[in-house]
């Protein structure tokens, strides 16, 4: 158990809908990262938050957004869902204070199926 929790574990929804994925980082970690794993794109970085502020953006679609709350949990919002958004979404966390504390620990993932 990495200490990172994600809910829900599975999500099945229809095209055009909107969903919210939730992540709680390890106790004490300030950085939260979101990644998407799909068969065709592999594991890709989406976005990072550090202590409530957006720090880095990767290949995140405009239909997707995220935020990190004062208690450090994070949510990833996916809207106008398309079939191609079906994937495993991971949240990771790290202490993130300095280079020595960047090791990332991954949650169990949320498997999203868009039908």
Which residues of this chain interact with other proteins, rule CB under 8 A?
Answer: 2, 31, 33, 35, 42-45, 48, 55-56, 58, 88, 90, 92, 94, 96, 99, 102-106, 108-109, 111
Length of the chain: 115
Instruction: State in angstroms the smallest separation of the CB of 45 from other proteins.
Output: 4
Instruction: State in angstroms the smallest separation of the CB of 98 from other proteins.
Output: 10
Nearer of residues 31 and 68 to other proteins, judged by Cβ: 31
The whole-angstrom distance between residue 113's C-alpha and the CA centroid of its chain comes to: 16
Nearer of residues 6 and 85 to other proteins, judged by Cβ: 6
Nearest Cα residue to 114 out of 16, 20, 7, 1: 16
Phi, psi of 111 (to 5 degrees): -90, 115
Q: Which residue matches tokens 């202490």?
A: 95
Nearer of residues 14 and 40 to other proteins, judged by Cβ: 40
Q: Coil, helix or strand for 93? A: strand
69's tokens? 């709350």
Instruction: State in angstroms the smallest separation of the CB of 40 from other proteins.
Output: 11
């Amino acid at each position: 158990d990495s200490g990172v929790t994600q809910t829900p574990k599975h999500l099945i929804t229809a095209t055009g809908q909107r969903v919210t994925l939730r992540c709680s980082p390890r106790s004490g970690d300030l950085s939260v990262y979101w990644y998407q794993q799909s068969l065709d794109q592999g594991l890709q970085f989406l976005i990072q938050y550090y202590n409530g502020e957006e720090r880095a953006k990767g290949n995140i679609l405009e239909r997707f957004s995220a935020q990190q709350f004062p208690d450090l949990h994070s949510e990833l919002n996916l809207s106008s869902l398309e079939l191609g958004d079906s994937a495993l979404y991971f949240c990771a966390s790290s202490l993130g204070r300095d280079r020595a504390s960047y090791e990332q620990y991954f949650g169990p993932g949320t498997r999203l199926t868009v039908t």
